[in-house]
């Protein structure tokens, strides 16, 4: 199953539950972030046009556009993660000295790590937007904004595991001069954990603003 943006929700859940490697944790994490974004977008939909929030309409529309773009990106990343996992899994089954494996594995591993990193960055951006709009949205939907924030923070945190599981492969492969640049696993995790720490703190502030 591919193109999760066009899949029916029930079909997507059935595909996740089936005995197939894809969609897996990466796609689920991305989809959770997209659900959070959709929930936040609903909050804005009920805030745009509200007379008591007239002074904030431009800011709300800008936030709506950014959230819509992030939701589309997260669904694209669900597909990207599944494709990257499939490519890496296929290459890892080949002998270590196989020329195709040697040539293509570095890029495949970088892609498999890159998708969840992008999810984490996207979710961090979304939480920044949620914090900005919390004081200027319809207060009757603040519980919905909390749902959006919790889902989005969880999506980013879940994506960390999809990075960690592939770091050993990153450490084992050799990168040629003309191949993708290799970052040190410790640097990747440090950057990821920085994003996640900020996101968790931001979630707490959003919950306080919406209490």
Q: What percent of the chain has pLDDT over 70?
A: 93
The domains of the chain are located at 4-209
Q: Which residues of 132-145 are buried (b: 16+ CB within 10 A; e: fewer)?
A: bbbeebbeebbebb
pLDDT at 163: 95
Give the CA angle between residues 151, 157, 163 to the nearest 5°: 135
pLDDT tens figures, 38-80: 999 999 999 999 999 999 999 999 999 999 999 999 999 999 9
d(CA 155, CA 30): 6
What is the phi-psi region of residue 113: left when phi exceeds 0, alpha when psi lies from -120 to 50, beta otherwise? alpha
**What class, spelled out in words, does domain 4-209 have in CATH?**
mainly alpha
Binning pLDDT at 50, 70 and 90, where does residue 24 land? confident
Tally of residues, the chain: 211
Model's pTM, two decimal places?
Answer: 0.91
pLDDT at 23: 80
**Residue 177 CB burial class (10 angstroms; 0-12, 13-18, ≥19):** exposed
pLDDT at 121: 98
What is the DSSP code string of 7-41? S-HHHHHHHHHSSSSSS-HHHHHHHHHHHHHHHHH
pLDDT tens figures, 80-114: 998 898 899 999 999 989 999 989 998 899 999 99
In the predicted structure, residue 149 carries a pLDDT above the cut 60: yes
């Amino acid at each position: 199953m591919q193109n999760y943006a066009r899949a029916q929700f029930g079909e997507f859940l059935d595909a996740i539950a089936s005995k197939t490697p894809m969609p897996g944790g990466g796609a689920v994490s991305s989809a959770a972030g997209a659900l959070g974004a959709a929930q936040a977008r609903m909050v804005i939909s009920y805030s745009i046009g509200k007379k008591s929030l007239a002074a904030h309409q431009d800011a709300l529309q800008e936030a709506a556009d950014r959230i819509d773009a992030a939701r589309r990106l997260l669904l694209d990343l669900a597909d990207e993660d599944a494709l990257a996992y499939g490519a890496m899994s296929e290459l890892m089954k080949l002998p270590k000295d196989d020329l195709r494996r040697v040539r293509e594995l570095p890029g495949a591993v970088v892609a498999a790590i890159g998708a969840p990193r992008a999810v984490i960055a996207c979710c961090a951006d979304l939480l920044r937007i949620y914090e900005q709009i919390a004081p200027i949205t319809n207060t009757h939907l603040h519980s919905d904004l909390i749902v959006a924030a919790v889902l989005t923070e969880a999506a980013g945190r879940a994506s960390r595991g999809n990075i960690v599981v592939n770091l050993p492969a990153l450490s084992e492969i050799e990168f040629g001069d003309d191949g993708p640049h290799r970052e040190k696993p410790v640097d990747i995790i440090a950057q990821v954990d920085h994003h996640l720490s900020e996101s968790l703190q931001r979630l707490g502030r959003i919950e306080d603003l919406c209490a």
